Structure 1
Amino acid sequence: MESILISSNEFIVRLADLKNPEDIFSIIKVLDNYKKDSMGSSPPYTIKEREILANKFRDHPNLLVFLIFSKKELVGGAVCFTTFSTFLVGDVINIHDICILKKFRGLGFGRLLMEFIINKARELTCAKVTLEVREDNSVARNLYSSLGFKESTPVMNFWSKKISYNSGPYWK
């Protein structure tokens, strides 16, 4: 079932139907674009990685994928996860990845996409929306700041540890 968040003659923002191969293809296209961009600095997805993403997207219980189109042309998207804040005792939407395709940047589509993610969080009665942003991504930082996002107090650092990449059950 398609959940349209907003529609006009110029654009549409909607939740992806994760059972629809076209929607899966669309978000993978957005993510691949993001990976190859200067902010992602990574090689494109392999065929195997695309298959794994498609399967995980179809099966993940806490996944929300937003897509934005302009006159039926893919503009960008966001991969979000619902989680829970023990301190706020409420649900959270975490924006894991968000990207507007290069030719549509600077036209306000990022703001539209962010606004609809925020509205979806309100609709779901979430306590907050979280995201991470690179320190050197001033364009994104300015957008997020203008929408009321700010660095947490105290400042939190994002840490990670890779665990046996390419060896889990999906790689067999």
Structure 2
Amino acid sequence: MTIEVIQADYQNEQHTTDLLFLLNDYAMDVMGGGEPLSEYTQHHLIENLKQQSNVFTVLAYVDGKPAGIANCVVGFSTFAAKPLVNFHDVSVVKAFRRQGITHLLFNKVEQIAKDMGCCKLTLEVLQGNEVAKAAYEKEGFAGYELDPKMGQAVFWQKKL
């Protein structure tokens, strides 16, 4: 078994085809919402990604087959006055789970973040996703808090 992890090139048709396949696979998983990507997303995502200077994707392949994805967004920490990288989407195709692919995706993203001079990596995880939480803890992630008396940060959203 050969595993390859690369930073996707949004100009490369194979990379973008694989990106859409992997993201759709994630979207259809219960942890991704349980529904396929919308027609709009399928038709506009790649062109919109090409216009973003603060987004990158890491793809994992097993024996040439798309196996895992990490879509990342570069943000900025005002407290550290440095960029940071947020894992926006992380997923491994069910058939390729438990083969260390998440670890390899995280290693690649961490190297990219270090090369960019980032101060930290961030991510969100569903409270009930114990498998992902265990994987993230192995990678050194922990809940975010400034003062234990105030508790951990909570991720909220408001759809527009």
Same fold by TM (over 0.5)?
yes
Q: Does the 8 Å CA contact 1:62/1:81 hold for their aligned counterparts?
A: yes
The aligned amino acid for 1:131 is L
Which one of 149, 155, 158 corresponds to residue 155 of structure 2?
Answer: 158
User: Helix, strand or coil: the match of 1:39?
Assistant: helix
In structure 1, the gaps of 5 or more residues are 1-8, 164-172
In structure 2, the gaps of 5 or more residues are 147-151
What's the offset of the Cα at 1:53?
Answer: 0.8
What's the offset of the Cα at 1:41?
Answer: 2.4
Q: Which residue of 1 aligns with 2:83?
A: 91
Q: Which residue of 2 aligns with 1:131?
A: 123
Q: Does the 8 Å CA contact 1:76/1:99 hold for their aligned counterparts?
A: yes
1:101-140 to 2 correspondences below 5 Å:
101-140=93-132
Q: Which residue of 1 aligns with 2:5?
A: 13
Could you state the TM-score of these two structures normalised by the residue count of structure 1?
A: 0.85
Aligned length: 155
Q: Does the 8 Å CA contact 1:32/1:44 hold for their aligned counterparts?
A: yes
Could you state the TM-score of these two structures normalised by the residue count of structure 2?
A: 0.92
Q: Which residue of 1 aligns with 2:135?
A: 143
Q: Does the 8 Å CA contact 2:29/2:35 hold for their aligned counterparts?
A: no
What's the offset of the Cα at 1:18?
Answer: 0.6
User: Helix, strand or coil: the match of 1:148?
Assistant: coil
- CA distance in 2 between counterparts of 1:33 and 1:73 reads 13
- CA distance in 2 between counterparts of 1:40 and 1:148 reads 23
Q: Which residue of 2 aligns with 1:41?
A: 33
- CA distance in 2 between counterparts of 1:120 and 1:126 reads 9
Q: Does the 8 Å CA contact 1:92/1:126 hold for their aligned counterparts?
A: yes
User: Helix, strand or coil: the match of 2:159?
Assistant: coil
- CA distance in 2 between counterparts of 1:44 and 1:144 reads 25
1:32 equivalent in alignment to 2:24: yes
Q: Percent identity?
A: 30
Structure 1 stretch displaced more, 129-138 or 44-53: 44-53
